Structure 1
C-alpha cells in the first residue's frame, strides 16, 4: 500500500482559503485572550483608588490571573495532545470568557482575584493550543510569519482593552469593560464549526476519512485513493511527553527557551500592569496613561509581524536575541525625561520587542518541537514563563512601594531583556552546531516542520 507523507504535503502546500480560515479563527480567539489579559492594567488605577489597595496588594491581585495561566498552560497543553485541540480550545474559551465576565460582578478583592485565577486557566491554556494548531497547518516557508500574524491578535486585544477603557471607564465604570469579554461565548458555536481539528490527532485516532477531507482542503489538487495510507512519523510519541523535551539533544535548548519565556513574560506583564500607573505618577492624566498602553500594544503588532517575516528569511533565534537587546535598551530609556514624540516611539519599540518577542518565542518553540510534543513543549515553556509573568506585577508593586525613582523602575524592568538576549543567543549557537548533523534525517526534518 502506498504511503502519503502528510507533513510533506502540508509543508509544501500553497496558502489558500483553508489557511485563511485557520488563521482568522485562531487570531480571533487570541484577540479576546489578549483583551482579557490586558484588562487588569486598564482598570488598575481605578481599582487602587476604589478599594484602597496598596501597590503591593495591587501587584499581588494582578498575579492571580498569572498563577492561573501557569497552571492552564501546563495542563491544557499536554491535555490537548490526548483529547484534541478543538476540545481543549473550547474549554479554555469558556473559562477565560465566562470568568472575565463574572469579574465585573466582583464586590471585593477576594472575589475579583478568584475570578481572575479561573479566567487565567483558560487564558494560559488556549495560547499553546492555537499556536500548535496554526503551526501544524501553516506551509513551512511562511510558518513563522503566519504564527506571528495570528498571535498579533493578542496586541489587537490589548489595544481594544485600552481603547475601550479610555471611552468606558469615565462614564460606565470599571465593571463595563469586563462585560465586553462575554462576546466569545456567543461566537463559540461558530468558531467550533469552522475551526478544524489537528490532522495529526485525527490520524492518531484512526479518523483517516476526516483527515483526508482536511488534506483535500489544504491541497485542492490532492486526492487520496483507497489504496493509499496516511503517514505522519512525527506524531508517534515514545513515552512520557514531558521527558521527550529533554531527549535527543533538546535539553539545553529547552532550558534556554524556558529562560527566554520567563524573562520576556516578566517584562511584558510588568509593563502591561504598571505602565499606566507609572505614567500617571510621572504627571500624565489617566487618558494619556492608558494611551501609552495602547501604543505599547500597537508597537507589538509591527514587532511580531516584522520579526516573523525576518525569522522566515533569517535565523529566528538570532532575530529574537537582537529583539531582546533592543527591548532592554528601549525600556531603560523610558525612565528619562524625553519629548513626547520620542517617548511614544520608545514605548512602541518596547512593545515591538517585548510583546512582539513573546509572540515570536511561541513561533520559535513551534518550529523547534515536533508535532508529537508541540503542545506539551509550548505549554511547559509558557507555564515556566508564567513565573516571570507572576513576578513582574509583584516586582512593579514592590518598586512602587519603595518609592523608587522612575528611572530605577524602568531599569529593573529592562534587566531581564539582557538575560533573554543571552539565552536566545546560546539557543541559536546550539542550533547551528547541531543543524548539519540533524538536517539529513528525514524523520527529524519532518518533526521540526
Structure 2
C-alpha cells in the first residue's frame, strides 16, 4: 500500500468548505475569548467606583485573569499535542464561559478575582490550540492570511465588549456584561460540529480511518487505498525540551520576548485606555469608543498583516507593525484633534493586538507538528507574564500622576524592544528552515 504525505496534500489543497468551517468556528470561539479578555477594561471604571479601588489595586485585580491565562497556556498548549486540539478547545471554551458567567455574581474583589483566574485558564488554553488547528489545515500559500483572519475574531471580541458596554453599563451595571457571556455556550455544539480533530494528531495516533475521512473532505479521491503519513510528526516528541533543540533556542527565546512585550502593550491598553481617557476629560461613552477603535485597528492590522506576510514574510511585517505601533502610542500622549486621535489609536491597535495575531502565526510556522501547540503554549505563556505586568504598570503610572505623554511613552518602549527581538527570531527561523531543507534533501 502506497504512503501519502498528508502535509503535502494539505499544503497544496484548494481552499474549500472544510477550511471555511474551521476558520469560522475558531473565529467565533476567539470572539468570545476576546470579549472575555477585554471585558475587564470595559467594567473597570464602575468597579473602581463601587469597590473604592485605587489604581494599583485595580491593576492587581486585573492580574488574576492574566495569571490564569499564563497557567492555561502552559497547561493546555502541551496537552493539545497529547490529547488532541479539538478536545482541549472544548474544555477551555466551556471553562472560561462558565467562569465568566459566574463572575457576575461576585460581590467582593476576592471572589471576582477567583472567577477571573478560572476564566483565564480557559482563555489561555484556547488560543494556542485554535491557532495550531487553523495553521495545520490552511493551504501553505495563504496560511498567514487565514490564521490572521481567524485570530482577528479576538479583536472583534474586544469590539463587541466595548460596543455592548456602551449600551449595557449605564442601564444594567457591570454584572450584566458577565451574564451575557453565557449566551455563546448555546452555540458550542454547533461550533464543534464544524471543527475536525487535528489530522496530524490522528495520523500520529494511528487513527487512519478518521484521518482518511478528513483528508477526503480536503482533497477528494487522494486518500483512497493509501496509508497516510505525516513525516514531520516523527521528527520530534511533544515536550518543552524540543523547543530548545536543533537551532531553535534563539528563536524560542526571541519569540518569548516578543510575546512578553506585545502582550504587555495589549493588556496595558485594554485595561487602562478607557480610564486614561476619562482622566484626560472624556466621558465614559467616549472612552469606550476609543477601546472600540483600538480593537478595530487590531482586526484591520491582523487581516492586512496576514496578506502582507504571505507576500513579504512574517518577520518583516511584524517588525514594521511593531515600529508603527510604538510610534503611534508615543504620539497619543500629545494633544491632537479628535480624528487624528482616533487614527493613532487605530494604528496602535494594529501594532499591538494586530501584531499579537501575527506573532501566533509566526510561532505556528516555526515549530514542527508534534510540538506546535507546545510551542504556541510556551510563547503565549511567556507573553502572559507581560500581560500581568501591563495592567500593574498602568496602575503604577496612574498612581504616580505622571504627565499623560509619559504614560504613553512608557507603553511604547516595549514595541521598540520587540522590533529587535523579531530580528533575532528571523535569524533563527532561517537557520531552522535551512536545516529542515537539508534534512529533506538527504
TM-score w.r.t. structure 2 length? Answer: 0.98
Question: Against the structure 1 CA distance between its residues 66 and 323, is the aligned structure 2 distance closer, same or farther, given a 3 Å change threshold?
Answer: same
Q: Deviations over 1:311-343 (max 9, x none)?
A: 111121111011111111000000000000100
| Matching residue of 2:299 | 301
| Matching residue of 1:168 | 168
CA deviation after TM superposition for structure 1 residue 224, in Å: 1.7
| Matching residue of 2:33 | 33
Q: Deviations over 1:119-153 (max 9, x none)?
A: 00000000000000000100000000000000000
What secondary structure sits across from 1:441 in the alignment?
helix
| Matching residue of 1:394 | 392
| Matching residue of 2:58 | 58
Superposed, which structure 2 residues align to 1:307-322 within 5 Å? 307-322=305-320
Superposed, which structure 2 residues align to 1:202-213 within 5 Å? 202-213=202-213
| Matching residue of 1:421 | 419
Q: Deviations over 1:322-381 (max 9, x none)?
A: 111111100000000000010000000000110000000000000011111000000000
| Matching residue of 1:447 | none
Identify unmatched segments of 5+ residues in structure 1: 445-449
Superposed, which structure 2 residues align to 1:317-336 within 5 Å? 317-336=315-334
State how far apart, in whole Å, the 1-side matches of 2:71 and 2:260 are.
15
Question: Against the structure 1 CA distance between its residues 362 and 282, is the aligned structure 2 distance closer, same or farther, given a 3 Å change threshold?
Answer: same
Contact persistence 1:234–1:443 (CA under 8 A):
no
What secondary structure sits across from 1:333 in the alignment?
helix
State how far apart, in whole Å, the 2-side matches of 1:26 and 1:430 are.
29
State how far apart, in whole Å, the 2-side matches of 1:197 and 1:277 are.
42
CA deviation after TM superposition for structure 1 residue 194, in Å: 2.3
Superposed, which structure 2 residues align to 1:356-367 within 5 Å? 356-367=354-365
Contact persistence 1:280–1:286 (CA under 8 A):
yes
CA deviation after TM superposition for structure 1 residue 202, in Å: 1.1
Question: Against the structure 1 CA distance between its residues 411 and 443, is the aligned structure 2 distance closer, same or farther, given a 3 Å change threshold?
Answer: farther
Q: Deviations over 1:52-101 (max 9, x none)?
A: 00000000001110000000000000011111111111110111100000
Task: Name the stretch that deviates more: 246-255 or 177-186.
Answer: 177-186
CA deviation after TM superposition for structure 1 residue 192, in Å: 1.9
CA deviation after TM superposition for structure 1 residue 437, in Å: 5.1
| Matching residue of 2:248 | 250
How many pairs are equivalent?
A: 442
Q: Deviations over 1:248-290 (max 9, x none)?
A: 1000011000000000000000000000000000000000000
Task: Name the stretch that deviates more: 402-411 or 423-432.
Answer: 423-432
Contact persistence 1:366–1:378 (CA under 8 A):
yes
Q: 4+ residue stretches of structure 1 with deviation over 6 A?
A: none
State how far apart, in whole Å, the 2-side matches of 1:249 and 1:142 are.
26
Contact persistence 1:93–1:184 (CA under 8 A):
no
Matched, 1:384 2:382: yes
Identify unmatched segments of 5+ residues in structure 2: none
| Matching residue of 2:155 | 155
Superposed, which structure 2 residues align to 1:131-142 within 5 Å? 131-142=131-142
Superposed, which structure 2 residues align to 1:217-232 within 5 Å? 217-225=217-225, 228-232=226-230
CA deviation after TM superposition for structure 1 residue 429, in Å: 3.1
Contact persistence 1:233–1:443 (CA under 8 A):
no
TM-score w.r.t. structure 1 length? Answer: 0.96
State how far apart, in whole Å, the 1-side matches of 2:391 and 2:239 are.
32
What secondary structure sits across from 1:53 in the alignment?
coil
CA deviation after TM superposition for structure 1 residue 236, in Å: 2.2
Contact persistence 2:148–2:303 (CA under 8 A):
yes
Contact persistence 1:244–1:373 (CA under 8 A):
yes
State how far apart, in whole Å, the 2-side matches of 1:177 and 1:136 are.
34
